[in-house]
Structure 1
């Protein structure tokens, strides 16, 4: 179930209602009145949830799921385990998105209320600058300073002795103690999730959170997306430069250093003590091992073992990349001196 501090529960809905909503065929008519209360990934779903299957890489999750129901295509309907009702659709992910919008909704700012919602709880010593907007049920710890024009969405928690600089925007987030967030950073907006429907490309609901642990520093104009369903996490004492983008479901370990313009794609796991140079780019669903070092402007397309230094594009172990670069330079110089243009 998405965190109720950030998402409203609009359920339940019966399976027959969800089948009608999505244009699906419920294969088990005796399950038509089953009440579904949430959407969930197959690996996280329970008897009150509905999941979807559209990628053969996750067939093990389908076979082991505890979901009450699942959107599937006709081709794999027979692989749905006993106890999980199959709803056959042409595009399972599109159907799951429609069900998510029926069952859950992100909490919104109430219109026409005070800039600081009366339900917000601010401990002694919190300093709030002009132009700050604080949503319902926000909690802010002692000694935290909130700069001009900051917007803090409903349900957000911020620890003690934090520094939130001007015009930062924070939503769907839980933030530890002594965290610094510099001007213009955006935390908790929806991650980049889209799929193709019969009517064109649609956005996929993003139902997760952002967790920033103690002593994290975020540079100006950073963007950290909330999880698609699970959380985006930045570990203790990690320091992030200006203009860094961290996509949904990324998990960054402790004591990492990320230089400006670094971009980490969705669901990548970064270990403890990792360093990334400026403009480093990391593809999705990778693992960067503890203590690894990624050179500036490197393009990481596969897993990086712990303790190794990689550079280049596509990134590879640094010595190999340097040898190849030197060889290319020699070949280019030889061709030029030989008169070949």
Structure 2
């Protein structure tokens, strides 16, 4: 028992010694490399194809690095149970298996005041060591349908009669299982991921799919089937139906945040970011924070 205690104490000491260190902005510039954390296997945002990194977030990361005259180093994230876990593992503390590794910036983080200032049961801020900034994408929920079996979607009430596929334990899953007194629950089919739900629609197992608009746009783009369409409707009783996605850095690295935000504003204003999205078949909607700046650049102010 005494030996076990000594071993555990030694491991704890090593973990403390190997505590991840945030790289100050000057050190990042001196290194010539920007380390950006993106989610693995998450098309159309970040994924690998034939050994090459692809996706909207990957190309955005490349542009952000270039805006600072830096080379890009991607850090691939496997999502934790909660976003808080990912922020801890890649932005301010480091994963226990690689405590010395931190990203300089993490992409695909909700730009949301309520989430930023969330507190735990003790009243402590959960993400007090994180700065969330620079929203670069407005995301929404979206339905796609096969017009051969479901000509149109005038309202989500049609799913009381037509089967629809969703990702298990997702917002669409909970919504379609409970809205309108649960009338759509018997026709809600659950799949491990939106691509698998979409594949089920192509196989005729469901007539529609609901997921994030970016994922739906990508899947429709890849399918290239004119009978597979994006529906245009709202989702009564759902609550928040759109939100902004941004970036996160350690709270001590605000200088990096300011620099990257400057690069992002240029990408949005020039239309380059919209072109990146279009290459993956995605519609681009400017986040509210930057609408005024884009209009100013459009009018040459």
Same fold at TM > 0.5: no
Answer 1 or 2: which has greater helix percent. Answer: 2
- Please indicate the TM-score interval, normalised by the length of the shorter structure: under 0.3
Greater relative CO, 1 or 2 (CA 8 Å, sep 6+): 2
When you count strand as a share of all residues, which structure comes out higher?
Answer: 1
Taking structure 2 as the reference length, the TM-score comes to 0.26
If the length of structure 1 is used for normalisation, what is the TM-score? Answer: 0.23
Larger radius of gyration: 1
